[in-house]
Structure 1
């Protein structure tokens, strides 16, 4: 179909390639998944030249998927480059449409921070977690039901980083704030949030 009508059907080709890649990633067929993600990315980049507003978000998502794959295969430099490009695109999109794309900026910052933590670049990871937390705090003021759990998740990440760098007081403060948020949500939705409460309590006990 895309040979006869590329404008209509190339996006569907790319979407299906992304779905296939996700499946191959889940079944640990990394080389096949990599090839499919790359082909999807190539199509989305081509589509961006004609319609950037529609297809730049898909470029960023596919870059994020590729980064996760490269991280899992221990190709940290490639993963870093892909996360950084995804972040750059999402920052640009968020300047025009913050309500839609700021959550993606924060998510990518969280991913980058975790990668920098893995590569022992603690100061960079700290900066990225803090920026992600600042964004989630801002979003949570407008929509607490959606974004307060993200605040808690980022606080837990920050606390674990502070624990690793022996900043015990900072770690404890962040854990306790995360715990309070999760406990409040667990009262209304225990099945979803009690495991998160237990996780933070375990982290506090270890600290």
Structure 2
């Protein structure tokens, strides 16, 4: 049994990670900021912890991680949230999570990022998009520099469709889309597979099973 804490647990990917973890008979902790969402997480079989990553200290968040074997960061400010919240959630929340994990003695951290955020931005890119890309890029940079056992998963366009279980996973893949359910399955598989430690992997739908895709990604 693995005890997994998910930051951004009320998000679509976060909830799916919790559901899959519970189905595997793991212990799942959902970190959320809104007490109104406690019941939803408990219905999934997860334990809810209320921590607002935009205002909490690393020490406060670390308390929610005590006893965990791994932390998943899947929080995001979401569409229409504006540049400031991209910075406080997508970047600041990630940095806070890494520091809190360190304080709690949790070395394993898996972060959900986004495909292509290292690529140059168009001169006419919208302000919100620039803020999002920069936040994800810099969050990944900070996690790669942290003294933690990290994995970064960078999915393509996210779809609200059933899982296919067929993906492409590598340091670089052609841009595409992928169901959120498959992203969650890959995140959980990465948590449980130490061969993915120190890997930053892009993810889209493809032809390989998740196990086959991970085998190929860690061998490359």
TM-score, normalization by structure 1? 0.34
* TM-score, with structure 2 as normaliser: 0.32
Comparing both structures, which one devotes a greater share of its residues to helix? Answer: 1
Choose 1 or 2 for highest CA Rg.
Answer: 1
- Which structure exhibits the higher relative contact order, with contacts defined as CA atoms closer than 8 Å and separated by 6 or more residues? 2
In terms of fraction of residues, the more strand-rich structure is 2
